[in-house]
Amino acid sequence: MGSIKILRGNFIHAVGLGELEIYEGAWCVIENGRIREMLKSLPTALAEAPVVDTGPGFLIPAFSDIHVHAPHLPYAGVGFDEELIPWLKKYTFPLESRFADGKFAETAYREFIRRLWRDGTLHSCVFATLHRESTALLFDLFRQSGLSAYIGKVNMDRNGIPGLSETADQSIEETIELIGSYHRPDGRVRYVLTPRFVPSTSDRLMRALGDLAEKYRLPVQSHLDENRGEIALVREMYPAYRDYADVYDRFGLMPKGRTIMAHCVYLSEREIDLLSHKEVMVAHCAQSNADLASGIMPLRKYLDRGLRVGIGSDVGGAHVFSMQRHVVETVQASKLRWVGNEAEKPVSVAESFSLATRASGSFFGNTGSFAVGNQFDALVIDDSALECGLPLGLRERLERFLYTGDDRQISARYLCGEEIPEPFPKAT
Ligand code: GUN
Ligand code: FE
C-alpha cells in the first residue's frame, strides 16, 4: 500500500457533459496522489489513516484554463474599444516587448501565477512572449509554485513591431533550447509549441514547428477564426488554401489529440469536420469574444457535432482570471446566441461547469473529475458567507458559488493530493 490520505466532505463533479454527481458526507481515499475510492462510510481497515475533515462546505475539481497569456495581466481591461488586430498592435505587442526586461517580467509573472492560484486555476495552458530568458523564468516560477501548466515561448517572425520581432532561425533555435531545458513529458510543467497565429508566423517557421511537434510529440496551441478581419487577412495571405485551419494542418500544426485552438468563433463546416477528426480542443473564450467584439461562438452546435471544447480565459483579451466568471459568461453567451438561432439550445450551468473542469482538465491528463484513478486535484469551497437563510441543496449551492462567489470562498487547493500554498505571497 502506498501513502494514503483521506478527505471527508461533500463532493460535486461532472461525470459527463452537464451530468453532475454529488457525494454528500463522503470519504475520498487518496493513494499516492490519486483517487483510490469514494466511500459512503469508512471501513475499519482505514481507521488508522489520516483524515482531513473539510467541514460543511463542498469540494469541486480544480479549474483548468486552456488558453491564457501570462504577460497580459498589466493590461487586462485596457484597450477594449479596439478589435483584435488594432488591439494587438496598439496594446498587446508593446506590452509584450517589455518582457525583454527580466525585472519587469519577474514582477508580472509572479503576480500572474499568484492570480491563477488565488482563483483556483491549478492547470493552465499558457502563452509567454517571444523572449527566451523571460520564458525560461516563467518555467522556473511555475515549477516553484507547484501549479500545473503547459507553457510555450511565442513564435512570431512576421508582422510584429520594431520592439517585438525575431527571425525564423532565432525562433527555432530558442524553441529547441527551451524544449531541451524544460520539457518533461510526465512533469507538472510541460512545453507546448506556440505559433502566435498565421499572420505572425512565416511558412518556414510554421513548417519547422510542425517538424518539432512530430519529433518531440509535443502539443500545439494557437488562435483560429477569432475575428472577421483576421480571417479575411489569412484568406488574402493564403488564397490557395481551403481555409484558415487548412494552413495550420498543412504545416503539421494540428497533431491529433494534442492541439488547442483558441476562439474558433467562425469555423466553416469543413473546419468543424477537420477539427473533429484531429480531436482538436477548442478553447472557448466567451469573455474575450465579447471584450474584443469578436462574436459569439456557436457552442451548442460544436458540442452537437462532437467537437472537443474546453474553456479558456484568454486574459488579456479578457479582463478576469476567475473560471467561475468564465463558466457563467459561457452560459450567458450561449443564451444570447440562442435568440435568433433557436436550434442552438443554450448550455446549462452544469454543462458549462463540466467544460471548465472535466473537459478542460482532459488536456492535462487524468484530472478534471473525482473519477477513481484520477489525480486528486480539487478546490475546497467554504460558502458559509453566501448563506442567505434558505436551505439550499448542494447543486444549488454550487450554482450560487459560481454566480455570486469569488476567490474568498476557495479555502484550500489540492494537486495530486497535496495542498498547494500561496505562491510568492505579497508582504503585508
Ligand atoms: N491572436 C493573436 N495573438 C493574440 C492575442 O494575444 N490575443 C488574442 N485574443 N488573440 C490573438
Ligand atoms: Fe489568446
Task: Give the three cell numbers for residue 254.
Answer: 494540428
Cβ–ligand 1 distance for 226 under 6 Å, the answer yes
Tell me the best of 88, 127, 155, 158 to mutate to test the pocket of ligand 1, counting ligand atoms within 8 Å of each CB and taking the most: 88
Ligand 1 binding pocket includes 196 (Cβ within 6 Å): yes
Q: Determine the angle formed by the axes of helices 132-145 and 168-182, rounding to 10 degrees.
A: 20
96 lines ligand 1 (CB under 6 A): no
Regarding the beta carbon of 223 and ligand 1, being less than 6 Å apart is answered: yes
The sign of the dihedral angle between the CA atoms of 367, 369, 373, 376 is positive
Tens digit of each residue's pLDDT (9 = 90 or more) over 54-72: 999 999 999 999 999 999 9
Q: For the chain, list residues with pLDDT below 50.
A: none
CA-based angle 8:9:10, to the nearest 5? 150
The alpha carbon of 83 and the centre of ligand 1 are apart by a number of angstroms equal to 11
* Ligand 1 nearest-atom number relative to CA 197: 2
pLDDT digits (tens, 9 = 90+) for 328-353: 999 999 999 999 999 999 999 999 99
Atom of ligand 1 nearest to the CA of 292: 9
Residue 204: half-sphere exposure toward Cβ, Cα within 13 Å: 8
- Cβ atoms of residues 221 and 67 within 8 Å: yes
C-alpha 317 – ligand 1 centre gap (Å): 7
Cβ-proximal residues to 374 (8 Å cutoff; 6+ apart), any chain? 34, 35, 366, 367, 368
In this structure, the residue with its CA closest to atom 7 of ligand 1 is 317
The alpha carbon of 29 and the centre of ligand 1 are apart by a number of angstroms equal to 42
In this structure, are residues 68 and 313 in contact, taking their beta carbons and an 8 Å threshold? yes
Q: Using CA atoms, how far apart are residues 341 and 323, in angstroms rounded to an integer?
A: 26
Return the best residue to mutate from 226, 247, 260, 287 for the ligand 1 pocket (most ligand atoms within 8 A of CB). Answer: 226
Quick one: pLDDT at residue 425?
A: 85
**Residue 47's pLDDT is what?**
87
* Nearest CA, atom 11, ligand 1: 223
Asked if residues 156 and 196 have their Cβ atoms less than 8 Å apart, the reply is: yes
164 ligand 1 Cβ < 6 A: no
Candidate from 65, 72, 194, 223 with most ligand 1 atoms within 8 A of CB, to mutate: 223
- The residue count of the chain comes to 428
Q: How far apart are CA 426 and CA 428, in angstroms?
A: 6
User: How far, in Å, CA of 132 to CA of 416, rounded?
Assistant: 30
Radius of gyration of the chain (CA): 21
Task: For ligand 1, say whether the CB of 197 is within 6 Å of any of its atoms.
Answer: yes
How much is the pTM?
Answer: 0.98
Q: What angle do CA 14, 325, 261 make, to 5 degrees?
A: 75
Task: Give the per-residue pLDDT at 72.
Answer: 98
Instruction: Give me 314's grid cell.
Output: 484568454
**Which residue, judged by its Cα, is nearest atom 9 of ligand 1?**
317
Instruction: Please write down the HEC assignment for all residues of 83-120.
Output: CHHHHHHHHHHHHHHHHHCHHHHHHHHHHHHHHHHHCC
Is the distance from the beta carbon of residue 92 to the nearest atom of ligand 1 less than 6 Å? yes
Which ligand has an atom closest to residue 68 CA?
2
Shortest-distance ligand to the CA of residue 196 = 1
> At 221, phi and psi to the nearest 5?
-130, 145
Q: What confidence score (pLDDT) does residue 299 get?
A: 98
The verdict on the CB of residue 201 being under 6 Å from ligand 1 is no
Is 69 close to ligand 1, i.e. is its CB under 6 Å away? yes
Q: Would the CB of 190 count as within 6 Å of ligand 1?
A: no
Ligand 2 centre to CA of 263 (Å) is 8
